[in-house]
Amino acid sequence: MSSTIQKRAARKSPAERAAEILEAAKEIALDQGLSAITLRNVASRVGVASGLIAHYQPSADALVAGVFTTIVAAETEEVSALLDRLPTASGRLAVLLETLMDGSRLDVTAIWVEAWTLGRRNEVLAAGVREQMDAWQAVVQRVVEEGVASGEFETAEAPSVAWQILGMIDGLNAQALVRWAGVSDRGTHLARAVEGMVGAERGALLPPSER
Amino acid sequence: MSSTIQKRAARKSPAERAAEILEAAKEIALDQGLSAITLRNVASRVGVASGLIAHYQPSADALVAGVFTTIVAAETEEVSALLDRLPTASGRLAVLLETLMDGSRLDVTAIWVEAWTLGRRNEVLAAGVREQMDAWQAVVQRVVEEGVASGEFETAEAPSVAWQILGMIDGLNAQALVRWAGVSDRGTHLARAVEGMVGAERGALLPPSER
DNA sequence: TTCCTTATTGATCACACGATCAATAAGTTT
DNA sequence: AAACTTATTGATCGTGTGATCAATAAGGAA
């Protein structure tokens, strides 16, 4: 008989199983969207009965919120760490823009967009969304403030400017989700716009490849 | 007996009933989201059997797409008409930014955001989304080109710049959907950023109220 | 070994969805 | 007045959802 048929899933430690579930849910979210995270869907991916997913999560909504937070927080930390290695605020902001606009993170953008809508009916998720937006804003604000301190930038409202930069990035990425054609030089135009907002010199935020 | 109990809905002309259904679906979409548009939900709002909704629409997806298009196209035409009354490109662009950023259209923004996600699984809707995005882009591009022609703006890439402006507006509005606090002078910062992109004079795009 | 905790199962409940369609009745045409 | 068209109903089917829970069995503790 086939050896691949497994009657009952191996018993694992709660920590291990919980991690396994979160990982499976993440994968589902990234390629089918947050709304594809259902108890049965996740269970089948893990190779386990649906009841077990419920046993590890207070509710399906909570699982969705957890997945969102995990995915998005990882990205924030990754980019933040990348910036820390750069010497100047201009360089950091330029890399920030370039990194977030290079199209390699569209799956995460899709998660963001869906979360904005789902948050309307999932309070736990809504709280997570606000928290992660704040985290992003803090990263950007810090860069802007460092630039002001060093004289590279000039603005009296770093917090607002940081929100605006994020909003612009989100909007352009969301747009890219649906429409690619016809938009050339996304990075260049955005860089120019942001230079205007933070009061940087012209060209200071262009990616190295275009400078 | 009560006279408000109506056993059977009055028979109406197809055109009238269709309009009634679309109107009800629009109302549902605007205050509960596109995903709240279900046959039963719309039927109950119209005061009619659910089968009748299906009788007037090829599918539920088509109804959702129709509602999206109706709502969004109306906004585009409304704003476009508003711009036509203004003499200068700078004035038009300033009013465009001010109008779309004043927070009075957040319900429509929510529709946009949800449509971006729903379009993943509703092909008819996805087509409508692309179509309406193009319509908006055409409006903005025209303003930019007029500004270039009159010497108010200076850019060689009006199409791309138009996309960018739209993306920024969408992103900032989507952000406002979730987070209001902490962001002051949204309009002012955006105006400055757009001035940089289209090559307008500093302050040319500030709303009259702040100039 | 025996006992006990608990990870895991799988069936089940109530609900909501889109779709379908025979039956009904309202209004129009003949 | 009779015949006909079709708007409208309401029940029904199949599917999918989250939640719940008694039953099972695996593995550590005694």
**CATH classification at residue B94:** 1.10.357.10
Residues A107 and A184 occupy one common structural domain: yes
Residue B154 is assigned to a structural domain of this protein: yes
B43 and B115 belong to one structural domain = no
Confidence of residue B11 (pLDDT cuts 50, 70, 90): very high
Among A35, A170, A179, the residue with its CB nearest the CB of B130 is: A179
CA A156 to chain centre: 28
Residue–nucleotide distance: A4 CA to C8 C1' (Å): 19
> What's the CA–C1' distance between A9 and C5, in Å?
18
Helix axes A186-198, A158-178, angle to 10 degrees: 170
Q: Does residue A37 belong to any structural domain of this protein?
A: yes
When computed from its CA atoms, the radius of gyration of chain B, rounded to whole angstroms, is 21
Do the domain assignments include residue B211? Answer: no
Is B88 a member of any domain?
A: yes
Taking the C-alpha atoms of residue B190 and residue B11, their distance in angstroms, rounded to an integer, is 52
Measured between CA atoms, the residue of chain B closest to residue A114 is: B117
B45 and B133 share a domain?
no
- Give the mean pLDDT of B20-31: 98
Look up residue A100 and give its two tokens: 């977030």
Cβ-based contacts under 8 A for chains A and B: 143
- Would you say the C-beta of B39 is within 7 Å of strand D? no
Q: Is the pLDDT of residue B189 over 70?
A: yes
* Same domain as A88, residue A40: no
Number of domains in chain A: 2
Of residues B143, B141, B113, B107, the one with CA closest to residue B129: B113
Q: Which nucleotide is nearest to A20 (CA to C1')?
A: C7
B60 touches strand D (CB under 7 A): no
Residue B116, domain member (yes or no):
yes
A48 with A136, same domain?
no
In this complex, the answer to whether residue A156 has its CB under 7 A from any atom of chain D, a nucleic strand, is no
Residues B49 and B68 in one domain: no
Reading the block at residue A115, the tokens are 């979360």
> Which nucleotide shows the minimum CA-to-C1' distance to residue A7?
C9
pLDDT over 50 at B3, yes or no: no
DSSP of chain A, one letter per residue? --SS--SSPPP--HHHHHHHHHHHHHHHHHHH-GGG--HHHHHHHHTS-HHHHHHHSS-HHHHHHHHHHHHHHHHHHHHHHHHHT-SSHHHHHHHHHHHHHSSTTHHHHHHHHHHHHHTTT-HHHHHHHHHHHHHHHHHHHHHHHHHHHHTS---S-HHHHHHHHHHHHHHHHHHHHH--TT---HHHHHHHHHHHHHTPPTTTTS-GGG-
What is the domain extent for residue B31? 12-57
Which stretches within chain B are classed as H helix? 14-32, 39-46, 50-56, 60-84, 89-101, 106-118, 123-150, 158-178, 186-198
Question: Has residue B1 been placed in a domain?
Answer: no
DSSP code at position B201: P
On whether both B36 and B71 belong to a single domain, the answer is no
The pTM of the full predicted model, rounded to 2 decimals, is: 0.94
Residues in chain B: 211
End-to-end, the C-alpha distance of chain B in Å comes to: 64
Query: pLDDT tens digits for B92-150?
Result: 999 999 999 999 999 999 999 999 999 999 999 999 999 999 999 999 999 999 999 99
- Give the best residue of B114, B132, B175 to mutate against chain A (max A CB count within 10 A): B175
Q: Per-residue confidence at B182, pLDDT binned at 50, 70, 90? A: low
Residues B69 and B110 in one domain: yes
The per-residue pLDDT string of chain A (211 residues; one tens digit each, 9 = 90 and over) reads 444 566 799 999 999 999 999 999 999 999 999 999 999 999 999 999 999 999 999 999 999 999 999 999 999 999 999 999 999 999 999 999 999 999 999 999 999 999 999 999 999 999 999 999 999 999 999 999 999 999 999 999 999 999 999 999 999 999 999 887 667 778 889 999 999 899 999 899 988 777 5
Distance of alpha carbon A197 from alpha carbon A194, whole angstroms = 5
Identify the CATH number of the domain in which residue B19 sits. 1.10.10.60
Q: Which nucleotides of D are covered by protein (CB under 7 A)?
A: 6-11, 16-22, 25-27
Query: Would you say residue B68 lies in a domain?
Result: yes
For residues B39 and B89, membership in a common domain is answered with: no
In a domain, B5, yes or no: no
Q: Round to a whole number and report the distance in Å from the CA of A60 to the C1' of D30.
A: 38
The pair of three-digit structure tokens given for residue B193, joined into one six-digit string: 């950023």
Residues B34 and B113 in one domain: no
Which of B97, B183, B205 should be substituted to probe chain A, the one whose Cβ sees the most A Cβ atoms within 10 Å?
Answer: B183
Judgement on whether residues B53 and B70 belong to the same structural domain of the protein: no
**Whether residues A94 and A40 fall in one domain:** no
pLDDT band of B67, cuts 50, 70, 90: very high
